[in-house]
Amino acid sequence: MKQKQSLMVMGILTLVLLAVYFLPLITFVKHILVLTLFYAFLGTGWNLMCGYAGRLSLGHAAFVAVGAYTSLLLFREFNLTPWIGMLAGGVFAVLVMLLIAYPSFRFGLKGPYFTLASIAVAEIVHNLLVYGRDITGGSLGMSLPYVPTSLAMFQFDGKEPYYLVILAFWLAAVFLTLKMERTRYYLEAIREDQDAAAALGISVNNNLIIAACISAFLVAIGGTFYVQYFRYIDPYSIAGFTLSLNMALVVVIGGSGTIFGPTIGAFILIPLTEVLRMTLGSQLPGLHLFLYGVLLVACIIFLPKGIASLPAIIKARQVKKTARVTQGSEGVL
Amino acid sequence: MAEKLLVIDNISKRFGGLQATNEVSFDVNKGEILGIIGPNGAGKSTLFNLITGFYPIDSGSITYRGSRIDGLTPDKICKLGITRTFQVARPFGGLTVADNILVACLPKADKVSAARARVEEVLKIVSLDKKAGVLGADLTTLERKRLELGKALATNPEILLLDEVMTGLKPKEMDDMMELIRELKKTKTIVIVEHVMRVIMNVSDRIIVLDHGHKIAEGLPKEIAENPTVIEAYLGRGAKNA
């Protein structure tokens, strides 16, 4: 998609989502919308490193957790507003990312090996949170001290303000991805063939590290949002494998390495999961997971590059057809 | 005396028990086409990998325009002005042909739009303008070769290192490719590794011959064709009596 088209899509989506804010929706639907945008935001962050650069991480929950615990602890201990704590959490997550990314990329860790390393890192963070009970509250988790609605303290009594906040976060992440046009091309080239990219003057390590750091920063900010919205975190829910996996699934189903893929994926998967759980969860426990699995398998078989790739697939087929017709009429080199 | 652009001085490279490059020295002069030939496994591709920083050299030095470039990473060497192609073409399979070229234009462009403006021109040079929207993975071998050359040209190098661009081409296609290389010579310095003798003898101003990592000969194409050491390396001992 061209830059201008993407900007337009982004603008239209934002307007539609803003309009949704004024609809008289029931609380459950509002909750689903917040959750969907939250995953769309996390997915957009994950996508930078894992979609564009093809370094598949299944441990990104580690950075969500670092962001969440940092801002929460700063708020609890020093009464620091989570708006600033959020940035501190982001910076801390970037540092943790550098610790892993630098050696991984320096020594060319990729494919399943990088993925395994990312899972290991998430496990380490998870265990540190569980065993650091004195500071983190261990497996019991930690709750957010209540403050009546206060913009300065990033706490609201209704769901609506959270919707606006996560919409703004999502917009910022999408806009950032859009603005990184040059880096996106570099990352794609690196994903396809890193030596060939280097031979063309692209610095492989620098671009990978930039992508990894921005990715970690964004999902860490998502972590702070999680704390402020749910008012409670524990290592299992915020540093567990499920969150890492969901982040990846949203992007893979929607279309990894595309600007709106994560958003499309989130808007399909998250409402579906929540609705299935609500309707079937009590009478036929487990059926919602079964249906979820069927959808995943269908997507992987029929649309391995995600839903966002549909227009491109159709277009490529047409180009191929016309190319076949004109073949033979053109000269050789 | 021609200006020496690239000076290779006594470089060596060993892979375990194999001495792939052994104290090789030569110069590349501005504006010439230097051919590098040698039997399979002579160390031709290794030489390209050493010059462009893909492998570190064990000893010796590589100097480009008066400054050392050995030890630099491939991307830095490319940005300085030396670009290589790969023997087996390596298109970015998931990107369209136009995006493949765009990516190659980007590192030296100030703005993405400036890079985009050059894509069409490069595509025309390598006759891929009709394939702009096709994915790199869907190209035929010949088209891949052209794209490989197109990507290298898009980086606008001063020295172009071509690694077996003729392999797999039909005689007519080779003639076209030779024509293109001669055309490129007007603006660039070219080092070409090639197996096809007809091509290398035709386009090269000078030739160096490698065998088992050693430089065994250097000279004008005519001299090389008659050099007994070279004939022996290619055909084995006793060939001269045949």
What distance separates the 2 farthest-apart alpha carbons in chain B? 63
The residue count for chain A: 333
Residue B198 — pLDDT band, cuts 50, 70, 90? confident
Calculate the average pLDDT of chain B: 90
Size of the A and B interface in Cβ pairs below 8 Å: 110
- What pLDDT, on a 0 to 100 scale, did the predictor assign at position B1? 55
Three-state DSSP state, B103: helix
- In chain A, which residues have their Cβ closer than 8 Å to the Cβ of B104? 200-201
Kindly state the average pLDDT of the residues B18-27: 92
Asked if B47 and B213 touch (Cβ cutoff 8 Å), the reply is no
User: From first to last of its 333 residues, what are the pLDDT tens digits of chain A?
Assistant: 678 899 999 999 999 999 999 999 999 999 999 999 999 999 999 999 999 999 999 999 999 999 999 999 999 999 999 999 999 999 999 999 999 899 998 888 888 999 999 999 999 999 999 999 999 988 899 999 998 988 999 999 989 999 999 999 999 999 999 999 999 999 999 999 999 999 999 999 999 999 999 999 999 999 999 999 999 999 999 999 999 999 999 999 999 899 999 999 999 999 988 888 888 877 887 887 787 788 778 887 888 788 888 887 787 777 777 766 655 444 444
Task: Give the span between the Cα atoms of A88 and A214, in whole angstroms.
Answer: 14
pLDDT-derived band at B241, boundaries 50, 70, 90: low
Output Rg (C-alpha) for chain A, integer angstroms: 21
Q: Is the pLDDT of residue B240 over 80?
A: no
Predicted local confidence at residue B230, as pLDDT: 86
| Candidates B106, B135, B151, B173, partner chain A, best to mutate (most A CBs within 10 A) | B106
pTM here?
0.90
Task: Determine whether the interchain pair A326/B130 forms a contact, defined as Cβ–Cβ distance below 8 Å.
Answer: yes
Q: What is the pLDDT of residue A284?
A: 80
CA of B206 vs chain A CAs: smallest distance (Å): 25
Residue A273: other Cβ atoms inside 10 A: 21
pLDDT of residue A315: 78
Q: By CA distance, what is B108's nearest residue in A?
A: A201
pLDDT recorded at residue A332? 43
Chain-chain contact of A185 with B102 (C-beta, under 8 angstroms): yes
DSSP state of B86: -
Question: φ and ψ at B182, to 5 degrees?
Answer: -65, -35
Residue B239's pLDDT is what? Answer: 57
Closest chain B C-alpha to A102 CA, distance in angstroms: 16
Strand blocks (E) in chain A: 142-143, 232-233
B44 class by beta-carbon count within 10 Å (0-12 exposed, 13-18 middle, 19+ buried): buried
Report the side by side order of strands in the sheet with B82-84. Answer: B82-84, B159-163, B189-193, B33-37, B206-211, B214-219
pLDDT at B242: 52
Return the H-helix or E-strand segment holding B20: strand B18-29
Mapping DSSP to helix (H, G, I), strand (E, B) and coil, where does residue B56 land? coil
The pLDDT of residue B167 is 83
pLDDT value, residue B238: 62
User: What DSSP character marks residue B143?
Assistant: H
Provide the pLDDT for residue A329: 46
Position with higher pLDDT, B47 vs A328: B47
Q: By the CB < 8 Å criterion, does A16 face chain B? A: no
Residue B28's SS3 state is strand
Q: Where are the alpha helices (DSSP H) in B9-60?
A: 44-51
